[in-house]
Structure 1
Amino acid sequence: MPRKLHNALTPLAVKNAKPGRHGDGGGLHLLVKPTGARSWVFRFMLNGKSRDGGLGAAGQGGMSLADARDEAAALRLKVKAGIDPIEERDREAAQALAAAQAAKVAGTTFKDVASAYIAANEGSWRNPKHRQQWRNTLDTYVYPVIGDLPVAEVETAHVLKILEPIWKEKPETASRIRGRIETVLDSAKARGYRQGENPALWRGHLAQILPARTRLSRGHHKALPYEEIPAFVRSLHEREAVAALALEYTILTAARSGEVIGATWAEVDLEKGIWTIPAERMKAAKEHRVPLLPRAVAILESLEPLGSLYLFPGPQGGKLSGMAMSMLMRRMKVDATVHGFRSGFRDWAAECTGYAHEVAEMALAHTIENKVERAYRRGDLFDKRRRLMADWAIYCASDGAARGEVIPIGTRSKA
């Protein structure tokens, strides 16, 4: 048996020991810190090296002297057998941690990670439609295949099972779904739920299996030819609905429908003829000023007495429905989209005017693609855009017969 120290510890000595190291024999020591905290330490020699291994707290609420002696006795046997108890303890702790992590990963499904990602990021998504599309596409196409599958087990075959049935029929939807799966799997990897290559990665991976998007039909918004827009605008004058006024205003300003529907009276200055759309409502997250010409101002003045917060109120209060203008066009049997009027405006500007490319692009609030040009351009070409939009308003009020000459007509009564 190991030789006992002459001044072996007692329970009372453990309780009253002063700061320092106090030996009990057989490698067992009581360590008292200046703060009064007490702990047991086992010191041993192995392969010519001295090592200290902590056994736990001592004193009230900790390991008793008797239990510490028993633990030290068990460790002495391991040392005698050539086992390093510290290395053994670390190895067992690592194995336990790995097992716990493996169990956690095995229980974490693709849907779990996707839900966590959406919850963490949807607050930064300005467009409510974008948030809903994330959920809808995952619910419809992704979760039925891999929703309940451990995210660590998602492979290329699973991704292809989701994408291949819709890749040619619904290319835009399929492409967005692929990107969303890739994002969720990247999030899972960052959180330690999976390792290795992302099976939804396009470049260098799925690009070698699926046909490139450039060879697929993108499905652009259907647009009414610009030659037909004046007649269409005249037909809107025959309708008194708010949706008709909103649609004409959308055409005259070449704005996006969401920008028009969400517009409030606080954004417009009728006297100066300026509509300022705040950055948080713009696709490019940058404030955009829109020149308002007489007809656009007249439309707003006709709606001002309604007393709504929004320029174009809905019948039940609040803002106009996002589908109101589209449904109006459907009732008018027009095979085009509201967004397509922006294309009509762009085609007209390119083919019927001499305005510079960047003036028309900035009228549409498009981001300048050239990074260098974007860095140096500080203004918004507002005066030039006002002249452009004035010509567009004249064209929309014309009979559309002449391309080089537009014939203005009087605006409709405000009533």
Structure 2
Amino acid sequence: MTVGDCLKYWKEQYVDVPLRPKTQALYTSTVIKHLSDAFPGRPISEISVKQWVDFFSRQEKENPRRARQLLSQARTALNWCIRRQVIDSCAIMRISPRDVGVRSETGSRVLTYSELARIWVGIERSTAATSNKLLHQMLILWGSRVSELRLAERKEFDLEEGVWTVPKEHSKMNTVIRRPIFEQIKPLLERAMETYDQILFPGADIKQPITISAANRYMLRIREGMDIGYWRAHDFRRTLVTRLSEDGVQPHVTEKMLGHELGGVMAVYKKHDWIEDQRTAYELHADKLFWHIRKLSD
């Protein structure tokens, strides 16, 4: 069997069966996409450690973080094939992920408002689809998880009550999340509603949400056009809560904004969504961001 044969079997028998759709999409956009055509026509048993090392060395030059991720995922897939006795062995198992690329960021980046403003302007000036631009600008403002907004449908937004209700199916914690539709984000939401139908952030297929891989590629393009170091969309969440905490917003409010479950000493607050307190905090965050955006234009 070739590398492509093994990955195809792994996908059909494992990835597409018990794994969640988000995990399926992750594997499809990474290891399956980048390794399925590796060593075409070569039996996997004939690929040496040196040849694998050379392959991942080329990947390192393109993207060090992705190279390590690809190796880790490839080892997972091919080890599964070994355990299923689809193949006897694979030299890739002799390479440690720590020997390839660099470790992915663990989530330590907190952006400044000046940096957020530059990202916002970069998005605004880009030639991407409206849905992709709106998705990421609203992520900056709401600080939600990418999937919560990417999969959002029109019915989740109550403009009269001013509340966005994330269904548990779209929530990482499998719980309903309620956030306010605050003043500064309302025009962006209304634009999405005027432009699209039930799916507010569609991809190439207008009836399907934009894929996580397409969203990630877009952020990569924006990031590569700037000189502010490595960041990712998930950092918008960390930046939101850090900057608001610096301004005195209480932890039980910022945790609700992030969609976290309250535990420990904050469990007393868990029965309340603190919508109005969230609204005040969101408006403060947006005011600061838009001040810096205007400053860039001066």
TM-score normalised to structure 2 length: 0.65
d(CA) in 2 for partners of 1:167, 1:394: 41
Q: Which moved more, 1:292-301 or 1:230-239?
A: 230-239
Where do 1:209-228 residues align within 5 Å?
A: 210=99, 218=105, 224-227=111-114
If asked which structure has higher relative contact order (CA below 8 Å, sep 6+), I would say 2
Question: 1:173 maps to which residue?
Answer: 66
d(CA) in 1 for partners of 2:51, 2:122: 51
- Secondary structure at 2:184's aligned position in 1? helix
- Secondary structure at 1:200's aligned position in 2? helix
Per-residue deviation, 1:264: 0.7
Change (3 A) 1:334 1:380: farther
Q: Which moved more, 1:391-400 or 1:131-140?
A: 391-400
Where do 1:139-218 residues align within 5 Å?
A: 139=36, 143-144=38-39, 148-151=42-45, 156-157=49-50, 159-167=52-60, 170-194=63-87, 200=93, 206=96, 210=99, 218=105
Change (3 A) 1:162 1:389: farther
Change (3 A) 1:195 1:347: same
1:308 paired to 2:174: no
Q: Percent identity, aligned pairs only?
A: 18
Question: 1:397 maps to which residue?
Answer: 287
Change (3 A) 1:225 1:109: same
CA contact (8 A) 2:249 2:281 kept: no
d(CA) in 2 for partners of 1:307, 1:283: 25
Question: 1:262 maps to which residue?
Answer: 151
Change (3 A) 1:362 1:206: farther
Report Cα offsets for 1:262-319 as digits up to 9, x if no partner.
3111222333333233344345555433332233345434554556112346798446
d(CA) in 1 for partners of 2:47, 2:261: 37
- Secondary structure at 1:289's aligned position in 2? strand
Per-residue deviation, 1:380: 5.3
- Which structure's residues are more often helix, by fraction? 2
- Secondary structure at 2:21's aligned position in 1? coil
d(CA) in 2 for partners of 1:353, 1:161: 51
Structure exhibiting the larger radius of gyration computed from Cα positions = 1
- Root mean square deviation of aligned Cα: 4.9
1:132 paired to 2:29: yes
CA contact (8 A) 1:259 1:281 kept: yes
Report Cα offsets for 1:169-218 as digits up to 9, x if no partner.
633212222222222232223222456898537xxx737x82795xx574
Question: 1:252 maps to which residue?
Answer: 141
Q: Alignment partner for residue 241 of structure 2, among 343, 346, 360?
A: 346
Q: In the alignment, residue 154 of structure 2 is paired with which amino acid?
A: W
Per-residue deviation, 1:348: 0.7
CA contact (8 A) 2:192 2:200 kept: yes
Change (3 A) 1:226 1:398: closer
Q: In the alignment, residue 136 of structure 1 is paired with which amino acid?
A: K
Q: In the alignment, residue 383 of structure 1 is paired with which amino acid?
A: D
Question: 1:112 maps to which residue?
Answer: 5
1:355 paired to 2:250: yes
Question: 1:18 maps to which residue?
Answer: none
Q: In the alignment, residue 262 of structure 1 is paired with which amino acid?
A: L
* Gapped regions of structure 2 (runs ≥ 5): 293-298
Change (3 A) 1:189 1:269: same
Per-residue deviation, 1:116: 0.7
Q: Alignment partner for residue 122 of structure 1, among 10, 13, 16?
A: 16
* Gapped regions of structure 1 (runs ≥ 5): 1-107, 403-415
Q: In the alignment, residue 363 of structure 1 is paired with which amino acid?
A: M
Q: In the alignment, residue 394 of structure 1 is paired with which amino acid?
A: L
Report Cα offsets for 1:343-380 as digits up to 9, x if no partner.
43133123222422x65355334689xxxx58x96985
Q: In the alignment, residue 364 of structure 1 is paired with which amino acid?
A: L
Q: Alignment partner for residue 273 of structure 1, among 159, 162, 185?
A: 162
- Secondary structure at 2:149's aligned position in 1? helix
Change (3 A) 1:280 1:312: same
TM-score normalised to structure 1 length: 0.50
